[in-house]
RNA sequence: GCGCCCAUAGCUCAGCUGGAUAGAGUACCGCCCUCCGAAGGCGGGGGUCGCACGUUCGAAUCGUGUUGGGCGCGCCA
């Protein structure tokens, strides 16, 4: 048995090579040749089509159909080809032998989970950084889309032969964490009967009170302090009216740090651990896991921020103005220069981001992929600019933008506003529609397209729901195979002998669909578009359902029966593999 | 005002490295369970691919302009 389970012929690649040879024979050596093979839409156009003749017609000063004839004459023979035809303006249409399609069943059944994997990525090291939400509250449905997209993309890249590292960047250093710490402490003080008006621009959510309660239960009054100390240096009015300016909130934070001393770090650490744990747990239940949780604070602790800034300094890309330190990002096409160190000495988020990206590049990835919300697109030029300034190649950084998701319930927009604390969390969404529907709906759309998320549709256990449609196809195959009393291992060996029984148009189309799967995964990886896999699965499920309704599988003639069972078992395998890439389960029963 | 993204069937969207008659789901209408799961299938109507020019053998796809919508233009993250 010489065959390796994950090796199977790729017809597209195979024919491309043949056409390349033919082109060299027909065209002058210096002709620019781009071999393009497409799957045809109509059966009478064959299985694959090539437009090379039309491309070459002009430079060869011949009409396309004549060029096509020359190309066909020069085309080396292929054992997989039944016939070649010229059609239309000069398309060369290729017809596969039925046996070429039929033999694919054994590749699918023997490769199992590995079917669809390819060497496209050549083992290149790729980092995918996604979600990276501030650990200052629950993930909401916007993060959910980034999570679903990032996880699916990472899976698709891995299947296409990339060496993928999944990373979450933890913003544990910034002002937002201080605000959360302060918010929690204020709620804690309330539990100790110390009341000052809760700042409007602090975190309002119930989860803050929950954390305060936990601290109170564990440490009682240990962190209780007199309100006068807290409001020191703040206007008299703040005793009666809630703070709503950034300056006053910062003052409050500074006071809290002064009063609490080392205890501040405890509360800070407590809320961080709580939120991060909650986030990790939430994502795990969503089927999203990370290899690395990268701490922003560590960039400061390890001196990386200082080093990055010094590096820019030494290359003269920094200057002082108005007491702040600026990076000359306009040198690299940005709209304006950007502050890296504020007047008050604090580094900006951008500063640690420069250090983070420097670190990413020093880790030696062939490609670094950031998945951001589309509202951050204005941030791209400065980050790429910083990389260039550091002497790094910005082309290695790919930024995939994910547009917002808008929830619809009863045909109306569900209200969402982060600040007021009125937002739908990812957890609520999962509880309402389930993990599978949420994952599938999130990646059903192109990522750079706004997503209208129909909650009622996602919840409905009916034929309208595309998730169930695909899963149902899988369950149906399982059901048939469960009623068959044969040995599955035999089935895996048999189709080679019996596959010629599969010769109806529906069966040949299904076989071709299975053959298309590895190309589909490769395309999804190349285009950073997992939605391609979702569409493919719906089409495959559709063709299967149609086949199911037209053909009986458990027929008395054993060769026919086995051939058909091998076909639907292969379909099941591909459905399973594809759903897995999207983080959706493939149930045996529903 | 400047920059980025988007506009395709009533609705939600594929298709976009230029290719053959522009597709799917949904909604609407009509059929199919003595038969492996009807959460399924079959059939039908439904289009100026926002608009206008341009590039070419060929444009939903590329370019320019224009209209309409989203987002971004902080010493926030």
Q: How far is the CA of A436 from the C1' of B18 (A)?
A: 38
Do A468 and A574 share a domain, yes or no? Answer: yes
Q: Which residue is nearest to nucleotide B69 (CA to C1')?
A: A450
Residue A322, nucleotide of least CA–C1' distance: B75
Instruction: Give the residue whose CA sits closest to B42 at C1'.
Output: A546
Confidence of residue A422 (pLDDT cuts 50, 70, 90): low
Phi-psi label, residue A567: left if phi above 0, alpha if psi -120 to 50, beta otherwise: alpha
In this complex, the nucleotide whose C1' atom is nearest to the CA atom of residue A444 is: B13
In chain A, the percentage of residues whose pLDDT exceeds 90 is 75
Bigger pLDDT: A34 vs A584:
A584
Residue A8: phi, psi to the nearest 5?
Answer: -150, 150
Q: In A231-288, where does DSSP find H-type helix?
A: 246-260, 262-285
- Report the distance from CA of residue A99 to the C1' of nucleotide B52 in Å, as an integer: 52
Q: Which residue is nearest to nucleotide B32 (CA to C1')?
A: A549
- CA A403 / C1′ B69 distance in Å: 14
- Chain-wide mean pLDDT for chain A? 91
Q: Which residue has the closest alpha carbon to B11 C1'?
A: A411
Tens of pLDDT, residue by residue over A4-54, are: 445 788 999 999 999 999 998 888 877 777 888 999 988 889 999 999 999
Task: Give me the CA A131–C1' B71 separation in Å, rounded.
Answer: 19
| pLDDT at position A63 over 50 | yes
Q: Which residue is nearest to nucleotide B33 (CA to C1')?
A: A549
One domain for residues A469 and A576: yes
Q: Is the pLDDT of residue A421 over 70?
A: no
pLDDT value, residue A462: 66
For A140, list phi and psi in degrees, rounded to 5.
Answer: -110, -175
Percent of chain A residues topping a pLDDT of 70: 96
pLDDT value for A210: 97
The pLDDT score that the predictor gives to residue A3 is 38
Predicted pLDDT of residue A551? 95
Assigned domain for A87 exists: yes
- Boundary (domain end) residue, out of A96, A129, A163: A96
Nucleotide nearest A554 (Cα, C1'): B36
Report the nearest residue to nucleotide B26, CA vs C1': A464
Domain co-membership, A476 together with A574: yes
Which protein residue has its CA closest to C1' of B12? A452
Q: Is residue A495 part of a domain?
A: yes
Q: Are residues A470 and A577 in the same domain?
A: yes
* pLDDT (0 to 100) of residue A33: 79
pLDDT tens across A80-112, in order? 999 999 988 889 999 999 999 999 999 999 999
- Residue closest to sugar C1' of B40 by CA: A545
Distances (CA, A) of A252 to A173, A186, A249, A257, A261: 18, 10, 5, 9, 14
In a domain, A168, yes or no: no
Tokens coding A137: 């509250």
Question: How many Å apart are A99 CA and B21 C1'?
Answer: 30
Could you tell me the distance in Å between the CA of residue A539 and the C1' of nucleotide B14? 11
**What does the H/E/C string look like for A377-389?**
HHHHHHHHHHHHH
CATH code (residue A83): 3.30.1360.70
Beta strand residue intervals within A116-200, DSSP E:
125-129, 163-170
The mean-pLDDT minimum among A201-205, A390-394, A531-535 falls in: A201-205
Residues A438-479: tens digit of each pLDDT: 999 999 999 988 888 888 888 876 667 889 999 999 999 999
pLDDT tens by residue, A103-159:
999 999 999 999 999 999 999 999 999 999 999 999 999 899 999 999 999 999 999
More confident residue, A449 or A281: A281
**End residue of a domain, out of A248, A277, A306:** A277
Same domain for A470 and A572? yes
Q: Residue A1 has what pLDDT?
A: 32
Across residues A383-388, what is the average pLDDT?
96
Distance in angstroms: CA A50, C1' B15: 18
A567 with A473, same domain: the answer is: yes
Which of A256, A277, A298 marks a domain boundary?
A277
Helices (H) and strands (E) in chain A, counts: 24, 15
ipTM of the complex in this document: 0.96
A92 and A179 assigned to the same domain: no
List bases, strand B, within 7 Å of protein CB. 2-6, 12-15, 17, 19-21, 24-27, 35-42, 57, 70-77
Rounded, the Å distance between the CA of A110 and C1' of B57 is: 47
Q: What is the pLDDT of residue A232?
A: 85
User: Among all strands, which nt has the closest C1' to A411 (CA)?
Assistant: B11
* Shortest CA to C1' contact from A38: nucleotide: B19
Q: A229 CA, B50 C1': separation in Å?
A: 62
Residues 6 or more apart in contact with residue A173 via CB below 8 angstroms:
A295, A296, A297, A299, A300, A352
Nearest nucleotide by C1' from A463 CA?
Answer: B39
pLDDT at A347: 94
- For A48, the enclosing helix (H) or strand (E) is strand A48-50
**CATH number of the domain bearing residue A533:** 1.10.730.10
Residue A2 has pLDDT above 50, yes or no: no
Determine, yes or no, domain membership for A335: no
For the CA of A59 and the C1' of B56, the distance in angstroms is 14
Give distance CA A349 / C1' B76 (Å): 9
Note the CA–C1' distance, A539 to B24, in angstroms: 9
Say if CB A65 and CB A90 are below 8 A apart.
yes
Using the structure, give the distance in angstroms from the CA atom of A340 to the C1' atom of B52, rounded to a whole number. 46
Residue nearest to nucleotide B70 (CA to C1'): A450
Does residue A454 form part of some domain? no
Q: Is A450 within the bounds of a domain?
A: no
* pLDDT at res. A245: 86
Among all strands, which nt has the closest C1' to A526 (CA)? B17
What does the pLDDT look like over A321-368, one tens digit per residue? 999 999 999 999 898 999 999 998 999 999 999 999 999 999 999 999
Contact A471, A587 (CB under 8 A): yes
Q: How many domains does the structure of chain A reveal?
A: 3
Query: Looking at the domain assignment, is residue A226 inside a domain?
Result: yes
* Domain-located, residue A491: yes
Q: State which residues form the domain around A264.
A: 175-277
> Among all strands, which nt has the closest C1' to A46 (CA)?
B20
Is the pLDDT score of A419 beyond 90?
A: no
């Amino acid at each position: 048995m010489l065959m390796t389970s994950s090796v199977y012929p790729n017809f597209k690649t195979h024919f491309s090579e043949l056409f390349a040879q033919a082109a060299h024979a027909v065209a002058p050596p210096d002709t620019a040749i781009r071999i393009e093979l497409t799957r045809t839409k109509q059966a009478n156009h064959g299985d694959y089509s090539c437009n090379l003749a039309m491309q070459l017609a002009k430079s060869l000063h011949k009409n396309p159909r004549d060029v096509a004839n020359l190309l066909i004459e020069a085309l080396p023979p292929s054992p997989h080809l039944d016939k070649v035809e010229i059609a239309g303006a000069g398309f060369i249409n290729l017809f596969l032998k039925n046996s070429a399609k039929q033999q694919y069943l054994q590749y699918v059944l023997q490769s199992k989970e590995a079917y669809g994997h390819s060497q496209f990525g050549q083992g290149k090291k790729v980092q995918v950084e996604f979600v990276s939400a501030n650990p200052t509250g629950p993930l909401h449905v916007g993060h959910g889309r980034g999570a679903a997209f990032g996880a699916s993309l990472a899976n698709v890249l891995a299947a296409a032969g990339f060496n993928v590292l999944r990373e979450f960047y933890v913003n544990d250093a910034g002002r937002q964490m201080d605000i959360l710490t302060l918010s929690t402490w204020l709620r804690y003080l309330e539990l100790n009967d110390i009341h000052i008006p809760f700042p409007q621009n602090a975190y309002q959510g119930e989860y803050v009170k929950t954390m305060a309660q936990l601290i109170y239960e564990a440490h009682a009054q240990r962190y209780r302090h007199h309100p006068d100390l807290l409001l020191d240096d703040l206007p008299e009015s703040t005793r009666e009216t809630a703070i709503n300016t950034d300056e006053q909130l910062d003052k409050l934070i500074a006071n809290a740090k002064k009063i609490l001393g080392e205890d501040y770090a405890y509360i800070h650490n407590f809320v961080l651990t709580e939120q991060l744990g909650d986030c990790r747990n939430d994502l795990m239940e969503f089927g999203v896991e990370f290899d690395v949780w990268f701490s922003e604070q560590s960039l400061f602790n390890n001196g990386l921020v200082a080093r990055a800034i010094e590096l820019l300094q030494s290359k003269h890309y920094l200057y002082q103005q108005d007491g702040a330190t600026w990076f000359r990002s306009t040198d690299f096409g940005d709209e304006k220069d950007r502050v890296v160190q504020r007047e008050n000495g604090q580094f900006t988020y951008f500063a640690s981001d420069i250090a983070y990206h420097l670190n990413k590049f020093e880790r030696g990835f062939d490609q670094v992929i950031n998945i951001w919300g589309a509202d951050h697109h204005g941030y791209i030029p400065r980050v790429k600019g910083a990389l260039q300034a550091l002497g790094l190649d910005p082309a290695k950084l790919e930024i995939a933008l994910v547009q917002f998701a808008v929830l619809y319930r009863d045909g109306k927009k569900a209200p969402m506003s982060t600040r007021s604390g009125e937002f739908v969390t990812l957890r609520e969404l999962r509880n309402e529609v389930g993990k599978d529907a949420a994952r599938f709906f999130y990646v059903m759309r192109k990522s750079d397209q706004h997503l209208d998320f129909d909650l009622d549709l996602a919840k409905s256990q009916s034929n309208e729901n595309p998730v169930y449609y695909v899963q149902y196809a899988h369950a149906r195959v399982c059901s048939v195979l469960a009623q068959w009393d044969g040995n599955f291992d035999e089935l895996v060996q048999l189709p080679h002998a019996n596959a010629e029984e599969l010769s109806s148009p529906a069966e040949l189309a299904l076989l071709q669909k299975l053959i298309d799967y590895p190309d589909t995964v490769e395309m999804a990886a190349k285009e950073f578009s997992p939605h391609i896999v979702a569409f493919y699965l719906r089409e495959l499920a559709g063709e299967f359902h149609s086949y199911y309704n037209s053909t009986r599988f458990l027929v008395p003639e054993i060769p026919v029966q086995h051939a058909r069972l091998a076909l639907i078992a292969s379909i099941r395998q591909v459905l399973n593999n594809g759903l897995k890439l999207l983080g959706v389960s493939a149930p045996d029963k529903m």
